[in-house]
Structure 1
Amino acid sequence: MSIQAPEATALAVAAQNLTKTYGTGPTAVTALDDVSVGFERGKFTAIMGPSGSGKSTLMHCLATLDTPTSGALTLGGSRVDGLDDDALTTLRRDRVGFVFQAFNLVPTLSAEQNIVLPLELAGKKPDAAWMAELVERLGLGSRLKHKPHELSGGQQQRVAVARALLPRPDVVFGDEPTGNLDSSSGAEVLRLLQRSAHEDGQTVIMVTHDPVAAASADRVVLLKDGRLAGEIIAPQVEQVSSALARLGAAS
């Protein structure tokens, strides 16, 4: 498999020789083992692999939520590994969006307040036109004053997607974003992520265990035992399921 170098300007996020080890000595566990991979701007990529393959660790390192033991990490063409905590906090606030399985909405705030919260914490005002477009696109116009407990799971996740997209980050990370949704709501969220990549030029990176969800992506990156195990371009459900079965059988 050909892996692009972090210096390539078409890449929104890139890792070179990324390694993550937990513990030391004989009990040390290597969750990522010399992983080099790039993610193009304006593309939707799914990361998949068997349990324990390192897919969540890779996403956490790419998103700067975890610190790699060694290797280089770039975001928007700039090296970000080695930044101190304050710089990483600013980077995540200004340049990275997150959509989690558990929604992570503030229960005491309305949908609208949840959407604008990251910008308010940064002391910034939202772009009114972009906010209005997102609200219309996500079908949230009649739900903005409702609190999370008054929304369905699909509506809560749409609020989380709007919150992630409003600051126009370099990259949006999804951690099992359809894991708590029924099939209809999950498909709706996946269409929104597709549109964000293909129409708005966002870079979307999603960890999932679901071949149906992965088939919504432009590309699937496969991991096994902390190492790259291949990729699928323009994935189909059957292709993804077969690839995961092969990786599992090889365990």
Structure 2
Amino acid sequence: MTSSLPLQPLPEAPATSGPAAVSARNLVKNYGKGETAVAALRDVSIDVEQGRFTAIMGPSGSGKSTLMHLLAGLDTADSGTIHLGSTEITGLNDTQLTTLRRDTVGFVFQAFNLVPTLTAQQNILLPIELAGGKPDLEWFDFVVGVLGLQDRLKHRPHELSGGQQQRVAVARALLTRPQVLFGDEPTGNLDSRSGAEVLSLMRRSTKELGQTIIMVTHDPVAASYADRVILMSDGRIVGGIENPTAETILAAMSELGA
């Protein structure tokens, strides 16, 4: 059958844009050994441009979460190379990876992971304080303003809506000025209105703050907020959609059997 996938070849980062935010070559990742081995990634190469919002999608078991975990330094590849900016992270030891994740990478997960006894402001500042650093108060005010949290800083998590709690989590991730912000189903626990609110704010952070975002999601509507969607199947990247809409994503996912 002739494929009708609305896919486009994945472009390399433009030569004039400097190094990609994240670049990977020939990634291979297997789980298990022998007859029970599962090939999670099969010779995957990818460039993610700076200052863009990229979504990774695919059927269950396609390798999308594995790819994100490798790019973020949360897991290690069996072979291949990964660069975060100009730094090769492949082969770093656990201590070096911990430092890298603390200093250059931000995370927003499906669970908000806020400390219930702390205020929104204290939750946002917590990672910097734990690292023994001092926050840039001008940057703090700017991020809080972009995310619309000025009137919620003294509230504890139980006094905030789900969307507001996730905005606090996004602010916490952005405060360290990460090279890349990774989102793992960041709106999975939100209703549609709150999810749209958070996704709009994430998109604004790429446009107004120059933030690079890589998000894994199964939701075509969530992925439509991205500048580009990368589609995976059976451990491989099978194409991408530039300027995606929910309709073009649904059509592509249908062809993939998702």
TM-score range, shorter chain: over 0.9
Paired residue for 2:23?
Answer: 14
Q: Are 1:208 and 2:238 counterparts?
A: no
Paired residue for 2:55?
Answer: 46
Q: Are 1:151 and 2:129 counterparts?
A: no
State whether residues 53 and 213 of structure 2, in contact with CA within 8 Å, keep that contact through their aligned partners in structure 1.
Answer: yes
Q: Distance in 1 between matches of 2:195 and 2:163?
A: 7
Q: Which amino acid aligns with 1:39?
A: V
- How many residues matched? 248
The 3-state SS of whatever aligns with 1:42 is: coil
> Displacement, 1:188?
1.1
Paired residue for 2:131?
Answer: 122
Deviations 1:14-55 (A, max 9, x none): 110011111111111111111000100000000000111111
Distance verdict in 2 for CA 1:131–1:2, change over 3 Å: closer
Q: Distance in 2 between matches of 1:191 and 1:130?
A: 20
Tell which deviates more after alignment, 7-16 or 73-82. Answer: 7-16
Paired residue for 2:3?
Answer: none
- Picking from 76, 91, 103, the partner of 1:82 is 91
Residues 184-223 of structure 1 correspond to what in structure 2 (within 5 A)? Answer: 184-223=193-232
Q: Which amino acid aligns with 1:86?
A: T
Residues 84-103 of structure 1 correspond to what in structure 2 (within 5 A)? Answer: 84-103=93-112
The 3-state SS of whatever aligns with 2:113 is: coil
Paired residue for 1:178?
Answer: 187
> Displacement, 1:127?
0.7
Q: TM-score, normalised by structure 2?
A: 0.93
Paired residue for 1:139?
Answer: 148
State whether residues 20 and 47 of structure 2, in contact with CA within 8 Å, keep that contact through their aligned partners in structure 1.
Answer: yes
State whether residues 44 and 236 of structure 2, in contact with CA within 8 Å, keep that contact through their aligned partners in structure 1.
Answer: yes
The 3-state SS of whatever aligns with 1:11 is: coil
Q: Distance in 1 between matches of 2:71 and 2:176?
A: 19
Q: TM-score, normalised by structure 1?
A: 0.95
Deviations 1:219-248 (A, max 9, x none): 000000110111000001110000000001
Q: Are 1:165 and 2:174 counterparts?
A: yes
Distance verdict in 2 for CA 1:65–1:149, change over 3 Å: same
State whether residues 10 and 239 of structure 2, in contact with CA within 8 Å, keep that contact through their aligned partners in structure 1.
Answer: no
Flag as ranges the 4+ runs of structure 1 deviating above 4 A.
none
Gaps of 5+ in 2: 1-8
Deviations 1:118-144 (A, max 9, x none): 111111111101111122222212221
- Picking from 33, 52, 66, the partner of 1:57 is 66
Paired residue for 1:243?
Answer: 252
Tell which deviates more after alignment, 232-241 or 131-140. Answer: 131-140
The 3-state SS of whatever aligns with 2:28 is: strand
Q: Distance in 2 between matches of 1:10 and 1:40?
A: 8
Residues 222-233 of structure 1 correspond to what in structure 2 (within 5 A)? Answer: 222-233=231-242
State whether residues 9 and 77 of structure 1, in contact with CA within 8 Å, keep that contact through their aligned partners in structure 2.
Answer: no
State whether residues 3 and 36 of structure 1, in contact with CA within 8 Å, keep that contact through their aligned partners in structure 2.
Answer: no
> Displacement, 1:69?
1.1
Over aligned residues, Cα RMSD in angstroms? 1.5
Paired residue for 2:12?
Answer: 4
Query: Percent of pairs identical after alignment?
Result: 66
Paired residue for 1:113?
Answer: 122
State whether residues 18 and 36 of structure 1, in contact with CA within 8 Å, keep that contact through their aligned partners in structure 2.
Answer: yes
